[in-house]
Amino acid sequence: MGNDLPINAAYPDRVEIIDALYRLVTGIDDNDPALLMSSLTSDCHVDYQKAGQIMGLSFPVFNDRDAAVETVLAIVGPLDTLHKVSTSRVWVNGDTGHMTAAVEAQHFPHNNRSRHLMMNSRYEVEVRKEDGAWKISSLVCNLVWFDGDPQVLVDHLPK
């Protein structure tokens, strides 16, 4: 979908769709698996692979909510992390939709401010209603730029 399409979502749907992304990033920031799981469909597609490659890291593509939540929280959960979401645009077609958003993520090792990683990305998000709530069925992170040390994300992982 191009950004030239008119925003056609009714206000309540737009708010609930954007909230799915807020649940995702807050679940990551708060290391809250239940909140993170509530943002994703059971068969979600989550892709941080290209973002990782740009930073010299290797991240898998997930096609399963449990694996995505477990791995993302293993990587980011031990860190002090804060995400900011802005410039969200939403399109809806019945019980499915599409959203784009700018997402900034700041990552620091816990109790160590000498190293950091800041990422600014464009998220391409597909959503659908599942169990009466809007949830993310596909998320692709398109990294625009980063600053700092990407190893912050992986140094604490078992070798």
Where do we find the tokens 């992982």? 157
The CATH number that applies at residue 132 is 3.10.450.50
Number of folded domains that form the chain: 1
For residue 85, the enclosing domain spans: 11-153
Q: How large a percentage of the chain has pLDDT more than 90?
A: 86
Q: Is 159 part of a structural domain of the chain?
A: no
Amino acid letter at 63? Answer: N
Q: Is 138 part of a structural domain of the chain?
A: yes
How far are the Cα atoms of 18, 79, 97, 117 from residue 56, in angstroms, in the given order?
30, 19, 32, 13
> Span 124-132, mean pLDDT?
96
Where do we find the tokens 């694996």? 67
Q: Is 92 part of a structural domain of the chain?
A: yes
Q: Is 4 part of a structural domain of the chain?
A: no
Q: Is 6 part of a structural domain of the chain?
A: no
Q: Is 2 part of a structural domain of the chain?
A: no
User: pLDDT per residue over 78-87, tens digit each?
Assistant: 999 999 999 9
User: pLDDT per residue over 22-60, tens digit each?
Assistant: 999 999 999 999 999 999 999 999 999 999 999 999 999
> Span 60-78, mean pLDDT?
95
Predicted model pTM = 0.92
